[in-house]
Amino acid sequence: MLFVGAFERQLDDKGRLALPATFRNRLGEHCYLAKGQDKCVTVVPSATFEEEAEVMAARVRLGDVSRNQLRALASSAILVTLDKQGRVNVDEQLRDYAGLQLGEPVTVAGSFDRLELWSPQRFTLVNDDGTGDLAGDDQ
């Protein structure tokens, strides 16, 4: 179950985003939205998110991850249900974190085990950096 490809979608005036049809079945009826790395919103299948939460809590107990990082992730996470049109509601806190604006385009990008929601400008920057890394431009 891989999420691959990048698609441009529009965030509606109520904060809803229609996910690409190819991703909907893989996510199932419920998924989690949370703050992601590099200022994106991650969209994670519920089973995957719940497994990762258990691992992160264990890492906190071992001292490998800070409690503050756990708190930031846990407090930002929202369990959402895809509606009949395959839309999810991206709440204001997550939109602000990722720089997503109502009525504006959003890049929905696969990241193998999850989706990422990006402002198109930020996605272009991180994607260009990653493409340079793949090409060996930093050597």
What does the domain layout of the chain look like in residue ranges?
Answer: 6-135
Q: What percent of the chain has pLDDT over 90?
A: 94
Chain centroid to CA 120: how far? 14
Measured CA to CA, the distance from residue 66 to residue 61 in angstroms comes to: 9
Coil/strand/helix, residue 31: strand
- Quick one: average pLDDT of 120-125? 98
pTM: 0.94
6-135: CATH architecture: 3-Layer(aba) Sandwich (3.40)
pLDDT tens sequence across 25-47:
899 999 999 999 999 999 999 99
